[in-house]
């Protein structure tokens, strides 16, 4: 329990308006998309690195567990305060501090929403590829803490591939800067990459520096419907064999198709056993040629229907189906089910499956009849990680339980 003296000290740091300890307020910060709750004793919303540092000094002195939280979209329970203590909510640290087109560098605070950042870059002809499924609400700090990927990971990689510098507050309250505003930094220990994906166990991220690339001239998305799931899986291997590196390559099985169609009413082909979604980008001439080759390949591999997006709106409509898989599944299960992505194997083995037995789940969190969809990129769709001062084996336990499922 936090003593009154500690509560008063924390209130003095952030102010009455950004300190919460009423039960109804704390309930809002007791769960994430993993849906396993843990109630904190206080929730604080800092607005600066200095405030985070002062809070951590108090927590370190009093040995209070601290959990970092962004938008709470992660699927691994990383932002759940399972040991109580303090939740630090970074949503008010939401400023884009710098976008340099000349240096292709951006500096931003951890509470910036991924999609809002993407929109600002598009105005300047710049591009930050990592696009987790929750990008409309997930925070950049959480993306870094979880090394989030997304559908574009097939071609462009994940968060780690664009991270060049960090400002981090350690458990002691010390402020550490890693990396810098350069594209090549090969001197000394690579602490930037060490913190990326550490799920908040090594420090609290208060500033992020990422590299950017030019915005592709155009992009095109194909939606291929198959009567056989295996044919769709084998098409994945063939895409790479013919020398095309797609931006995104995703499969939805029949169950996922119908669950999403019931939820979103997008006009998906309910009779299909699988949908294969393929996106390519680059110069117009190259994209047109790749699109034609992919249409031919899909038909040769058994697709009975192939649709090509011709406009930005049509492109977004196709991907809306894939991004809605988790939300549609959670709607049916009440949010407590284990709706998780898996990676599509390049070997053409069955990429999507329905789990029928929870027998290998040591914590009893998995449920039978789980529906899955995924792609060959990084399948994690996560936001903030576990907090400083918490036991690090918690994140490892989740990863151990997922290992057999996430490596399809």
Contact status, residue 395 vs residue 76, Cβ threshold 8 Å: yes
Bridge-partner residues for 280, per DSSP? Answer: 220
Q: For residues 210 and 112, state if they share a domain.
A: yes
Is residue 152 situated within a structural domain? yes
Q: For residues 206 and 100, state if they share a domain.
A: yes
Which portions of the chain are predicted below pLDDT 70?
333-408
CATH label of the domain that carries residue 78: 3.30.43.10
Among 54, 89, 124, the domain-final residue is: 89
Is residue 244 situated within a structural domain? yes
Q: For residues 125 and 76, state if they share a domain.
A: no
What pLDDT is recorded for position 277?
95
Among 270, 291, 325, the domain-final residue is: 325
Contact status, residue 397 vs residue 364, Cβ threshold 8 Å: no
| Backbone phi and psi for residue 18, each to the nearest 5 degrees, phi listed first | -120, 20
Is residue 408 situated within a structural domain? no
Domain count for the chain:
3
CATH label of the domain that carries residue 148: 3.30.465.10
Q: For residues 101 and 209, state if they share a domain.
A: yes
Q: For residues 108 and 22, state if they share a domain.
A: no
What pLDDT is recorded for position 334?
57
Bridge-partner residues for 222, per DSSP? Answer: 278, 308
Q: What whole-number distance in Å separates Cα of residue 12 and Cα of residue 402?
A: 42
Q: What whole-number distance in Å separates Cα of residue 50 and Cα of residue 209?
A: 18
Q: For residues 200 and 234, state if they share a domain.
A: no
Q: What whole-number distance in Å separates Cα of residue 73 and Cα of residue 375?
A: 20
Here the tokens at position 99 are 């976008």
What pLDDT is recorded for position 1?
86
Q: Which domain holds residue 120?
A: 96-214
Q: For residues 239 and 282, state if they share a domain.
A: yes
Is residue 60 situated within a structural domain? yes
What pLDDT is recorded for position 209?
98
Among 325, 351, 386, the domain-final residue is: 325
For the chain, how many residues are written? 408
Q: For residues 117 and 144, state if they share a domain.
A: yes
Q: Of 186, 123, 131, which is closest to residue 155 (Cα–Cα)?
A: 131
What pLDDT is recorded for position 317?
85
What pLDDT is recorded for position 2?
94
CATH label of the domain that carries residue 271: 3.30.70.2190
Is residue 286 situated within a structural domain? yes
Q: What whole-number distance in Å separates Cα of residue 326 and Cα of residue 75?
A: 10
């Amino acid at each position: 329990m936090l003593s009154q003296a500690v509560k008063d000290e924390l209130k003095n740091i952030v102010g009455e308006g950004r300190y919460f300890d009423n039960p109804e307020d704390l309930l809002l910060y007791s769960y994430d998309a993993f849906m396993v709750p843990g109630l904190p004793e206080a929730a604080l919303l800092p607005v600066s690195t200095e405030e985070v540092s002062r809070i951590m000094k108090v927590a370190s002195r009093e040995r209070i567990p601290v959990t970092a939280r962004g938008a709470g979209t992660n699927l691994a329970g990383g932002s759940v305060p399972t040991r109580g203590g303090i939740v630090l909510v970074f949503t008010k640290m939401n400023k884009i501090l710098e976008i340099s087109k000349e240096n292709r560098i951006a500096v931003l605070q951890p509470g910036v929403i991924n999609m809002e950042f993407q929109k600002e870059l598009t105005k300047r002809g710049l591009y930050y590829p990592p696009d987790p499924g929750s990008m409309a609400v997930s925070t950049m700090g959480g993306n870094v803490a979880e090394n989030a990927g997304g559908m574009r990971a097939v071609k462009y990689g994940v968060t780690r591939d664009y991270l060049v510098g960090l400002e981090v507050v350690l458990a002691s309250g010390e402020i550490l800067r890693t990396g810098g505003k350069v594209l090549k930094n090969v001197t000394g220990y690579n602490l930037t990459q060490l913190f990326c994906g550490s799920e908040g166990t090594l420090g609290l991220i208060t500033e992020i520096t990422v590299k950017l690339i030019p915005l592709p001239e155009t992009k095109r998305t194909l939606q291929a419907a198959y009567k056989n799931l295996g044919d769709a899986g084998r098409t994945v291997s063939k895409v790479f064999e013919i020398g095309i590196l797609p931006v995104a390559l995703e499969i939805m099985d029949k169950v996922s198709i119908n669950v999403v169609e019931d939820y979103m009413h997008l006009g998906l082909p309910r009779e299909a056993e699988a949908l294969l979604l393929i996106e390519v980008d680059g110069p117009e001439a190259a994209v047109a040629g790749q699109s034609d080759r992919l249409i031919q390949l899909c038909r040769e591999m058994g697709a009975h229907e192939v649709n090509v997006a011709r406009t930005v709106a049509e492109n977004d409509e196709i991907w809306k189906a894939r991004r809605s898989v988790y939300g549609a599944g959670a709607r049916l299960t009440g949010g407590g089910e284990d709706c998780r992505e898996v990676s599509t194997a390049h070997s053409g083995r069955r990429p999507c499956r329905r789990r029928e037995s929870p027998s290998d789940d040591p914590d009893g969190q998995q449920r039978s009849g789980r529906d899955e969809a995924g792609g060959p990129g990084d399948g994690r769709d996560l936001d903030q990680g576990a907090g400083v001062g918490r036991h690090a084996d918690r994140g490892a336990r989740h990863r151990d339980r997922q290992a057999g499922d996430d490596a399809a």
